[in-house]
Amino acid sequence: MLGVHRNTVIAAYHELSAEGFLGTEPGRGTFIASSLPEVKPKRWLSGKASGPKLAVHPHFSFDAAPAELRFTPIPKGTLALYGGVPDTRSLPRLALARAYRRALRGVPSLLDYADPQGEPRLRSALAEMLRASRGLAVSADDVLVTRGSQMALALIGRALVRPGDVIAVESLGYKPAWRALAQRGARLAPVPIDAEGLAVDALEELCEREPVRAVYVTPHHQYPTTVTMTASRRMALLELARRKRFAIVEDDYDHEFHYEGRPVLPLASADHAGVVLYVGTMSKVLAPGLRIGYLIAPAAVRDAAIALRFDIDRQGDRLTEWAVAELMEDGELQRHVWRMRRVYQSRRDHCARELREHLGRWIRFGVPTGGMALWGQVSRALPVSSFLVQAARHGVLFQPGEQFTWGQRGTQHVRLGYGALTERELSTAVARLAEAARATAD
């Protein structure tokens, strides 16, 4: 009927049978298979059905710097006195789940491509919060929503910084931020910090010698020493930045959790010259897993950052941005912050009491005015590296001071976080720490 050669028809039948589209029943004939096969992809290279296993080293040249592990899970049963980790157990989880559901079911367009600057609703809510409580005269257009403060810093590093630039940093600090800012080949230069915060006169001397492009500071609760930068240092820093024309990258990472006295307004609230790039985050007030941060910067810098953001991941997580905006608008977030402030303050006091009682002879520390961790100095009778190992054996983890330094070995400082543990867990953790201390000293 089709006018093709019989052999062609036979070949076609064979191929269709081989592919499973036809089945033969001996004595009865050839029929369409009762269940058609999944269309299998076409192999264009004969050989094994599945490809070769992934190589460890690529065939092209690749100098992989041995990458430090960025994340190690906490062993089950171990208590981690890690700073900067909020207690997500008390999150308004149901409210969040409802917000996600309303977003998914009521706002279909949230799953489409959109503005890399972030959901307008969240930018409005953030702008309102920043106006009301941080003295920043901003509107929704001024806010760039980022995936955590880390992304804001990564964008600044790319928008602002050039190879050969010098970035001044507090001599103790947050290395992932340093890496993000220096990614284009800038040099980091440490500036001393003391009980008043950054030593601005030392920074001024640095500016005489080096092309300082920016200074990275954590003025509300210095990371990791917890010191709040005094008013006179703040004014001096703004004045120096104005005179020398460098940028101030202000990382206000846990603004809300301030316990003694009133919270201090950010440098950005007094930035008449236009030198501050203000970075904030919701990781501590909500949850680190939600990855909501923000950048407030002069419009030219912000626009450059938005374009660069597109080239990284195109846009934020719109469902999350929408859900968080809802929690902000209906007051749920604010209530959560009030609750957690009281909780963290109690945990701070409890942790301090326990440490004084059980480890007072080994660890000296100040009680921080804010934040979720304290900064202590360990007696030389207890070398921190051995102490860390013993502590892990006893089921407790903490952050050794060298995580925050310029690779100085032998620093006896430690960071002990109390935010994520209940008072009972804190007692257990401190007890284990004390056992570990005794084991180390022996």
**For a second copy, the closer CB: 276 or 416:** 276
Q: Scanning residues 178 to 207, which ones bind a second copy (CB under 8 A)?
A: 179-180, 183
Q: Closest approach of Cβ 174 to a second copy, in Å?
A: 12
Q: Closest approach of Cβ 386 to a second copy, in Å?
A: 26
Give the interface segment with a second copy, choosing from 176-184, 394-402, 406-414, 421-429 (CB under 8 A).
176-184
Can you tell me which of 79, 81, 83, 91 binds a second copy, judged by CB under 8 A? 91
**For a second copy, the closer CB: 151 or 169:** 151
Integer Cα distance of 69 and 137 in angstroms: 40
Measured in whole angstroms, how far is the alpha carbon of residue 52 from the centre of its chain? 36
DSSP letter (8 states) at residue 111 = G
DSSP reduced 3-state for 363: strand
Give the interface segment with a second copy, choosing from 142-150, 198-206, 372-380, 423-431 (CB under 8 A).
142-150
Measured in whole angstroms, how far is the alpha carbon of residue 414 from the centre of its chain? 21
Give the interface segment with a second copy, choosing from 260-268, 347-355, 374-382, 392-400 (CB under 8 A).
260-268
Can you tell me which of 79, 129, 191, 290 binds a second copy, judged by CB under 8 A? 290
Question: Where in 147-221 does DSSP place strands (E)?
Answer: 166-170, 187-191, 193-194, 197-198, 212-217
Structure tokens at 269: 């609230």
Task: Give yes or no for residue 300 binding a second copy (CB under 8 A).
Answer: yes
Instruction: Enumerate residues 6+ apart whose C-beta is below 8 A from 296.
Output: 130, 136, 138, 142, 143, 144, 268, 277, 278, 280, 302
Q: Closest approach of Cβ 132 to a second copy, in Å?
A: 9
Q: Which residues of 331-360 are buried (b: 16+ CB within 10 A; e: fewer)?
A: ebbeebeeebbebbeebbebbbebbeebbe
Task: Give yes or no for residue 137 binding a second copy (CB under 8 A).
Answer: yes
Binding mask 44-83 for a second copy (x = CB under 8 A): xx-x-xxxxxxxxxxxxxx-xx-xx-xx-x----------
Q: Closest approach of Cβ 73 to a second copy, in Å?
A: 7
DSSP letter for each residue of 367-402: PPSBSSEEEEEE-TTS-HHHHHHHHHHTTEE-EEGG
Binding mask 207-246 for a second copy (x = CB under 8 A): ------xx----------------x--xx-----xx--xx
Task: Give yes or no for residue 154 binding a second copy (CB under 8 A).
Answer: yes
Task: Report CA torsion sign: 78, 84, 85, 87.
Answer: positive
DSSP reduced 3-state for 250: strand
**For a second copy, the closer CB: 267 or 416:** 267
Helix axes 200-209, 231-244, angle to 10 degrees: 20
**For a second copy, the closer CB: 117 or 411:** 117
User: How long a stretch of residues is the chain?
Assistant: 442
**For a second copy, the closer CB: 1 or 132:** 132
Structure tokens at 203: 């920074």
Task: Give yes or no for residue 113 binding a second copy (CB under 8 A).
Answer: yes
Task: Give yes or no for residue 11 binding a second copy (CB under 8 A).
Answer: no
Q: Scanning residues 353 to 392, which ones bind a second copy (CB under 8 A)?
A: none
Residue with tokens 């909500």: 286
**For a second copy, the closer CB: 288 or 383:** 288
Give the total of residues touching a second copy (CB under 8 A): 118
Give the interface segment with a second copy, choosing from 198-206, 256-264, 365-373, 402-410 (CB under 8 A).
256-264
Q: Closest approach of Cβ 286 to a second copy, in Å?
A: 8
Q: Closest approach of Cβ 316 to a second copy, in Å?
A: 8
Q: Scanning residues 403 to 432, which ones bind a second copy (CB under 8 A)?
A: none
Peptide bond into 224 cis (omega under 30): yes
Question: Cβ atoms within 10 A of the Cβ of 229, count?
Answer: 24
